[in-house]
Chain A
Amino acid sequence: MSSTVGRHAAREQPLDAIFQALGDRTRRALLARLAQRPAMITELAAPFAMSLPAVSRHIRVLEGAGLVARTVDGRVHRCALHAAPLRSAAAWLQQYRRFWQGSLESLARYVERR
């Protein structure tokens, strides 16, 4: 996944790319940080005691899933959260969670009644 100057990831990204991107604890933490406000890659690296290439790698995966948009101004790489795909993924997991919780509720009512 290339990250050319001013490029924003496509709006309609496959859900599996999103889930893969979110399946890493560090990437979720990076997203939580970006949810507060945009940041430069150097800013992102500091709290994680992680090398710049390592953070950059994680950001590339997030960009690939359409969750982060990177803009380059000279040598400064600034990242911002792109929330729309994340709401889709969150909605998906929420639907599953509700479905299973609701099913277990129904099961309990069914067996406890008889």
Chain B
Amino acid sequence: MVLVVSRLIRATPERLFDAWTRPGELMKWWGPESVTCIGAEVDLRVGGSYRIGNRFADGTVVWIAGEFELIERPRKLAYTWRIEPAAGAAERVLVTFAARGADTEVSVRHERIGDEAKRKLHEQGWLGCLAGLAQYVGNG
């Protein structure tokens, strides 16, 4: 399944692309408020890999890793996405930075959700809360 999340941000595409790809910067913003980025490694080239460490509010640590497939500064970035130590078919993330006047529309398209890694994480109880049935089915 595919998930698309977008936001308009007051900054240039270049500024945002760099914030997304420089380890020092990534560590300062990566993740929602409840998540602390505990490490970031980025080898920014096609075929290069990245790793981002996430500490959740309950103390759980998860490392997200993958390889870059597409690097078109400042407009597009695509990379595979898996949660270590998963080795199965990876998911894919495409991030686009589209100029909108003084703002940039940052759009994240997360593809192939629901693979082997997620099954294992689910079993480990990584997911905490439950969403309403009606809400999901209604959003089909």
A-to-B contact residues, CB < 8 Å: 14-16, 18-20, 22-23, 25, 28-29, 31-32, 35, 83, 86-112
Take A16-B116, A93-B113, A97-B3 as given contacts and tell me if A86 and B133 are in contact as well, using a CB distance cutoff of 8 Å: yes
* Distance to closest chain A CB from B109 (angstroms): 10
- CB–CB A111/B32 < 8 A: no
- CB–CB B7/A110 < 8 A: no
B-to-A contact residues, CB < 8 Å: 1, 3, 5-7, 9-11, 15-16, 19-20, 25, 28-35, 106, 108, 110, 113-116, 118-119, 122, 127-138, 140
Contact of B137 among A25, A35, A98, A108 (CB under 8 A): A35
Task: Return the 7 tightest CB-CB contacts between A and B, nearest first.
Answer: A102-B32, A28-B140, A19-B114, A90-B136, A110-B29, A94-B131, A104-B7
Take A22-B140, A96-B113, A103-B31 as given contacts and tell me if A108 and B7 are in contact as well, using a CB distance cutoff of 8 Å: yes
* Majority DSSP secondary structure for residues of B touching A: mixed
8 A-B pairs within 8 Å (CB atoms) are namely A32-B138, A90-B133, A99-B32, A101-B32, A102-B34, A104-B6, A107-B19, A110-B19
- CB–CB A90/B110 < 8 A: no
The CA of A96 and the CA of B6, in the complex, are separated in Å by 13
The CA of A44 and the CA of B119, in the complex, are separated in Å by 31
- CB–CB B122/A90 < 8 A: no
Query: A83 — nearest CB in chain B belongs to which residue?
Result: B133
Query: A35 — nearest CB in chain B belongs to which residue?
Result: B137
Contact partners of A92 in chain B: CB under 8 A: 113-114, 118, 122, 127
